[in-house]
Amino acid sequence: MQNYLWRVRCVIAAGLLIGALSASAADPDIFANKRGAIRGADPVAYFSLQPGDKAVYGTDEYAYEYMGATWKFASAENRELFIADPEKYAPQYGGYCAFAVSHNFTKSVKPDVWEIIDDKLYLNFNRRTYKKWAKDKPGSINRGDENWPTVLTSCEAHNNCAKPTK
């Protein structure tokens, strides 16, 4: 009987360990690194920039925790705007590369590679991927919107999730 209970406990422990490992392997809902969500860029500031402008970075002084990530802002005003309506300012696809999500995987982003379309912020990995994504913006956005609900888990199954970056 003791041998049977020991085996049952081992099976349960192994199952819990495997579940924990697979749950932690998929990407989090928001792309972040040690600098914060979207590499510390202020998501609200994009909405006052001109196309091609460089991202504005936030500071620890104006940080806010949302959806498991630290978001940084360049001013208290930007932080308050975000708090009042985070869905308006947060980038699409959790801040992951829009091109990658449109192809059903995830990739990190460079905050300077961005575009606002229909009042929504899209970020990309680099200029090259942005150009590919921009060849068919409506199609890319439609594919990204379709993929987004499951891409964070499906990327793990295909071993193509974004890797942590510095």
Residues constituting the chain? 166
**Is 13 inside any structural domain?**
yes
**Is 40 inside any structural domain?**
yes
Tell which phi-psi region holds residue 36, choosing left (phi > 0), alpha (psi between -120 and 50) or beta.
Answer: left
pLDDT, tens digit, 9 for 90 and up, residues 54-99: 999 999 999 999 999 999 999 999 999 999 999 999 999 999 999 9
- What CA–CA distance (Å, rounded) separates 20 from 2? 27
Q: Are 163 and 25 in contact (CB under 8 A)?
A: no
- What CA–CA distance (Å, rounded) separates 66 from 39? 14
Please give the structure tokens belonging to residue 32.
């972040």
**Is 78 inside any structural domain?**
yes
Average pLDDT of the segment spanning 121-130: 97
The domain total for the chain is 1
Average pLDDT of the segment spanning 37-64: 97
**Is 162 inside any structural domain?**
no
154 pLDDT band (50/70/90 cuts)? confident
Q: Are 43 and 28 in contact (CB under 8 A)?
A: no
Please give the DSSP secondary-structure letter assigned to residue 111: E
**Is 163 inside any structural domain?**
no
**Is 166 inside any structural domain?**
no
Average pLDDT of the segment spanning 22-33: 69
More confident residue, 17 or 153: 153
**Is 164 inside any structural domain?**
no
Instruction: List, in order, residues 6 or more apart from 111 with CB less than 8 Å away.
Output: 38, 39, 40, 41, 55, 57, 123
- Which pLDDT belongs to residue 3? 56
pTM of the shown model: 0.80
Domain residue limits at 107: 2-157
**Is 165 inside any structural domain?**
no
- Which pLDDT belongs to residue 18? 39
Burial category of 100 from C-beta neighbours within 10 Å (exposed 0-12, middle 13-18, buried 19 and up): buried
